[in-house]
Each structure stands twice: as C-alpha cells, then as structure tokens.
C-alpha cells in the first residue's frame, strides 16, 4: 500500500494526513462534549430527584401531596405538550439545514424559540398562582427545587436558541457547517426529555 493510500486509510477522506489524536472520524469532538455535559446535568437532576423522593418517603402521607397543596396538573400538562412540540420544530430546523433548506431552518428556529418562551412564561404564571412558596413545607421546597431547576435550564436553552436563530438569519449555517444547530438541538431535546420526567414525577405520581 502506498503512503498516499495509507494516509487515506487512516485519516478523513480527502486528507493526506492522519487524524489528530483527539479527533474521531465517526463523531465530532463537539458532539462528544455536549453529551458529556448532558451526563453531568443528568447527575445534577438526579440529586434533586433523590431529595424529592426522600422527602416523600420520610413524610409519607396519603394522598400525595399533603393537604392543602394542589398541583396544577392540567396547566402543566398543556405546558408539556408545548415543550414536546418545540422538540419537533427543533428537529425540523436541524434536518432542514442538513438538506440546505434555509427557510425551514429559520422557521423551525423561530417556532422553537416561541414555544420555549411560552413554556417558561406559563411556568412563571403558574408560580404566581399556585398558592404556596418555598418556605412553607419540605414538599413546597422540593417542588420548586425540581421545577425551578428545570426552568433555569429552559432559560439557558432559550438564550442558546436566540443566538442560533439570529445566526440562522445571518446565513451562518450550511449543510457542511451545522454543528451550532446540532449541538443546541441536542441540549434542547435534553431539556424536553427532562421535563417529561419532572412532570410525571412531580405532577402525576
């Protein structure tokens, strides 16, 4: 085998030199980084879930939550549908830029941002109308702890989405260079999945 063929055999197609030691031809280091970051976030949420379930076991009452607390299950359910829908629009935006469809990218990003903003504003309104606060009981503290932690992640996600939306209208992404959209989309999908777990745990169980 020639040296040129060996270079192609050990590197990326079209390159005459081997890949750097930290680079994989199968997955970008940026994608690996966002998945490692999400792993750390899962552990953070896990600690909050542990506190919530510990509180529920130690202060076991039937029914749950203890009287007189009432969880806004219906409003949270509608909010869940909103956030799940935003995951589909985010996927639409990602697929669109990979296919060179800039209009689809822009529409998907705008819809995703608006749906995420609607979710966060609805949660803020829910907090104002729920009738208790963090200092009342341990249930109230853990309720606001879990939902508030997720709300903070939604806020961070919206900041990322806003930057991605602005860049999409400035023509910064293409089928060859779309990692900015893909990484932001992965984070947003994580936020959506984590809310489903929070909703089932806090509002339904």
3 assigned to some structural domain = no
Give a yes or no: residue 21 inside a domain: no
Report the distance separating Cα 92 and Cα 94, nearest Å.
5
Q: For residue 25, is it within any domain? A: no
Whether 139 maps to a domain, the answer reads: yes
**CATH number, domain with residue 108:** 1.20.120.80
Q: What is the per-residue pLDDT for 89?
A: 97
Q: What tokens does 176 get?
A: 């060859």
For the record, the structure tokens of 168 come out as: 């999409």
Residue 26 lies in a domain: no
From the list 198, 194, 103, the residue with the least C-alpha distance to 156 is 194
196 located within any domain:
yes
Residues 6+ apart with CB under 8 A from 83: 115, 116, 119, 191, 192, 195
Per-residue pLDDT of the chain (205 residues; tens, 9 = 90+): 444 444 444 444 444 555 555 555 567 778 888 889 999 999 999 999 999 888 888 776 667 777 777 888 899 999 999 999 999 999 999 999 999 899 999 999 999 999 999 999 999 999 888 888 877 778 888 889 999 999 999 999 999 999 999 999 998 888 888 888 999 999 999 999 999 999 999 998 8
Per residue, the 3-state secondary structure of 47-99, as one string, reads HHHHHHHHHHHHCCCCCCCCCCCCCCHHHHHHHHHHHHHHHHHHHHHHHHHHC
Domain of 108, in residue numbers = 33-204
Domain count, the chain: 1
Evaluate whether 115 touches 157 at the Cβ level (below 8 Å): no
Cα separation, 110 vs 197, in Å, equals 26
pTM of the model: 0.81
pLDDT of residue 30: 80
pLDDT at 57: 81
Domain membership flag for residue 78: yes
Q: Residue 197 domain-assigned?
A: yes
Residue 40 CB neighbours (<10 A): 8
């Amino acid at each position: 085998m020639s040296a040129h063929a060996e270079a192609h055999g050990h590197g990326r197609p079209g390159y005459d030199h081997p890949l750097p030691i930290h680079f994989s031809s199968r997955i970008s280091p940026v994608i690996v980084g966002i998945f490692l970051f999400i792993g750390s976030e899962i552990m953070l949420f896990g600690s909050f879930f542990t506190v919530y379930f510990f509180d529920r076991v130690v202060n076991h009452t039937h029914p749950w939550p203890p009287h007189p607390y009432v969880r806004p299950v219906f409003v949270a359910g509608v909010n869940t549908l909103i956030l799940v829908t935003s995951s589909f629009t985010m996927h639409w935006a990602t697929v669109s830029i990979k296919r060179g469809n800039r209009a689809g990218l822009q529409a998907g990003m705008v819809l995703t941002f608006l749906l995420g903003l609607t979710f966060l504003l609805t949660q803020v309104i829910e907090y104002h109308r729920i009738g208790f606060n963090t200092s009342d009981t341990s249930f109230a503290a853990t309720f606001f702890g879990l939902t508030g932690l997720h709300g903070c992640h939604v806020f961070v996600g919206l900041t990322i989405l806003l930057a991605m939306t602005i860049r999409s209208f400035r023509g910064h992404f293409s089928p060859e260079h779309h990692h900015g959209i893909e990484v932001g989309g992965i984070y947003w999908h994580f936020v959506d999945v984590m809310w489903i777990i929070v909703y089932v745990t806090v509002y339904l169980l």
